[in-house]
Amino acid sequence: MSLSLVQSTLLGDNSSLFESIANNLVDKGYSISVDALPENLTTLLLQQINELPDEIFKRAGIGRAKDHVINDAIRTDEICWITGNSEASGAWIKWAESLQYYLNKHLFLGLFSFESHFSHYGKGDFYKQHRDAFKGEGNRVLSVVVYLNQDWSLDDGGELIIYPEQAVDSGIIADNKITVTPSAGTIVVFLSEEFPHEVLPALRDRYAIAGWFRLNTSIANNIDPPS
Q: Which residue ranges make up the site for ligand OGA (CB under 6 A)? A: 119, 127, 132, 145, 160, 197, 199, 208, 210
Pick 98 or 119: Cβ nearer ligand OGA: 119
Pick 10 or 145: Cβ nearer ligand OGA: 145
Contact criterion met (CB below 8 Å) for 148 and 46 = yes
Helix axes 39-51 and 87-107, enclosed angle (nearest 10): 140
Pick 10 or 37: Cβ nearer ligand OGA: 37
Q: Which does 78 bind (CB under 5 to 8 A by kind): ligand OGA, Mn ion, none?
A: none
Q: How far is the CB of 209 from Mn ion (least distance, A)?
A: 12
Q: How far is the CB of 103 from ligand OGA (least distance, A)?
A: 19
CA distance 43 to 162: 27
**List of residues 6+ apart from 131 with CB closer than 8 A:** 192, 193, 195, 196, 197
CA distance 59 to 113: 24
List alpha helices for the chain, DSSP H.
5-11, 15-28, 39-51, 87-107
193 binds Mn ion (CB under 5 A): no
Q: Which does 145 bind (CB under 5 to 8 A by kind): ligand OGA, Mn ion, none?
A: ligand OGA
CA distance 59 to 77: 6
Q: Read off φ and ψ for residue 154, nearest 5 degrees.
A: -60, -25
132 binds Mn ion (CB under 5 A): yes
Pick 10 or 162: Cβ nearer ligand OGA: 162
Q: Which does 96 bind (CB under 5 to 8 A by kind): ligand OGA, Mn ion, none?
A: none
Pick 24 or 227: Cβ nearer ligand OGA: 227
